[in-house]
C-alpha cells in the first residue's frame, strides 16, 4: 500500500477527485493545507482522512515554513506527495527532499503560461487550445517532467470562468490518472522526460473538437 499526502490551499476539488478515485494500492494518509480556511479540509475530514494546517503566515520565511511543512508531511512517510492547488512556491531544499515523488497540477499546457492567471493569459494570447498538466516538481517553478496533459478548445465568447471550468473538468480526469500510474509503478523519469510504461500515446487526452458557431 502506497502512502499519499495531498497538499491544498483552497477549494480542494482536485484532492477530492483523487480521493474519490479510490485508487487500488493507494492510501490517502493526510491532507495538509497552508490556509486554515481551505474549503477542502472539511471534505477530507468527513472522509476520515487526517488533516493538518501549517499556516505559512506564522513563519518568518520560506525556509522556516518549508521545514515545518516537511516535518508534518514526514510523519506520514509518504511514497508520493501531491500538490493539488497548493499555492506556495517551495524552496529547492524542500523539493530536493521529495525528488521523484512530488507532483503538481498546473492549469495550462506547460511550458506555456507558467505562474498565475493562466486562463486569463491564455485568452489574452488568443491561443486556440489550452489545458492542464500534471508534472513532477523540480526546483524551477512549473517545470519538471510532464506525466500527462489534457487539451481543451478555447471557444468563441469564452471568459475566464468558462475556460477555467472546462480545464478543471479535465484536471479531475488526469490527476487521478497520473496518481494511478505512479501507484502502479509505471512512471519513470528519463532526464527531463517522464515515461509511462504501457501507454502508447503517453497521456495526452484531447476533448471533443469544438463545433462550428
Q: Which residues bind ligand GAR (CB under 6 A)?
A: 8, 10-14, 84-85, 105-107, 168, 171
Best CA proximity match to 81, nearest among 100, 64, 67: 100
CB of residue 94 to ligand GAR, shortest distance in Å: 15
Name which of 8 and 26 has its Cβ closer to ligand GAR.
Answer: 8
Beta-bridge mates of residue 15 = none
For 206, counting Cβ atoms within 10 Å of its Cβ (0-12 exposed, 13-18 middle, 19+ buried), the class is: middle
Cβ proximity to ligand GAR, 85 vs 145, nearer residue? 85
37 is in an annotated binding site: no
Residues 149 and 203 sit within 8 Å (Cβ to Cβ): yes
Let me know: does 39 contact 114? Beta carbons within 8 Å: no
Closest to 80 (Cα-Cα) out of 179, 206, 153, 173: 179
Asked if residue 62 belongs to a known ligand binding site, the reply is yes
Cβ closest to ligand GAR, residue 41 vs residue 194:
41
To the query of whether residue 106 is one of the catalytic residues in this protein, the response is: yes
- Catalytic one among 56, 76, 106, 119? 106
What minimum distance in Å lies between the beta carbon of 127 and ligand GAR? 17
Distance CA 17, CA 85 (A): 12
**Does 173 belong to an annotated binding site?**
no
The grid cell for 184 is 502502479
Nearer to ligand GAR (CB atom), residue 77 or residue 152: 152
Q: Is the dihedral of CA 195, 79, 206, 126 positive or negative?
A: negative
Q: 3-state DSSP helix/strand/coil percent for the chain, to nearest 5?
A: 30, 25, 40
Q: Closest separation between CB of residue 102 and ligand GAR, Å?
A: 13
Name the residue whose CB lies closest to ligand GAR: 85
Q: How far apart are CA 156 and CA 116, in angstroms?
A: 23
- CB of residue 195 to ligand GAR, shortest distance in Å: 23
Annotated binding-site residue numbers: 12-14, 62, 104
Annotated binding-site residue numbers for (6R)-10-formyltetrahydrofolate: 62, 104
Q: Hey, which residues are catalytic here?
A: 106
Amino acid at each position: 500500500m502506497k502512502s499519499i499526502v495531498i497538499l491544498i490551499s483552497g477549494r480542494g476539488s482536485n484532492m477530492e477527485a483523487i480521493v474519490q478515485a479510490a485508487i487500488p494500492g493507494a492510501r490517502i494518509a493526510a491532507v495538509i493545507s497552508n490556509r486554515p480556511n481551505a474549503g477542502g479540509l472539511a471534505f477530507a475530514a468527513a472522509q476520515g482522512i487526517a488533516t493538518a494546517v501549517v499556516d505559512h503566515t506564522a513563519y518568518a520565511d520560506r525556509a522556516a515554513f518549508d521545514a515545518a511543512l516537511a516535518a508534518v508531511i514526514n510523519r506520514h512517510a509518504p511514497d508520493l506527495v501531491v500538490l493539488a492547488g497548493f499555492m506556495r512556491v517551495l524552496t529547492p531544499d524542500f523539493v530536493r527532499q521529495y525528488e521523484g515523488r512530488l507532483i503538481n497540477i498546473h492549469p495550462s499546457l506547460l511550458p506555456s503560461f507558467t505562474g498565475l492567471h493562466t486562463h486569463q493569459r491564455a485568452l489574452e494570447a488568443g491561443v486556440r487550445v489550452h489545458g492542464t498538466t500534471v508534472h513532477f516538481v523540480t526546483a524551477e517553478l512549473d517545470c519538471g517532467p510532464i506525466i500527462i496533459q489534457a487539451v481543451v478548445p478555447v471557444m468563441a465568447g469564452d471568459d475566464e470562468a468558462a475556460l477555467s471550468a472546462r480545464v478543471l473538468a479535465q484536471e479531475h480526469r488526469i490527476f487521478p490518472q497520473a496518481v494511478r500510474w505512479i501507484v502502479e509503478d509505471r512512471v519513470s523519469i528519463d532526464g527531463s522526460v517522464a515515461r509511462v510504461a504501457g501507454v502508447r500515446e503517453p497521456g495526452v487526452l484531447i476533448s471533443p473538437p469544438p463545433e462550428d458557431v
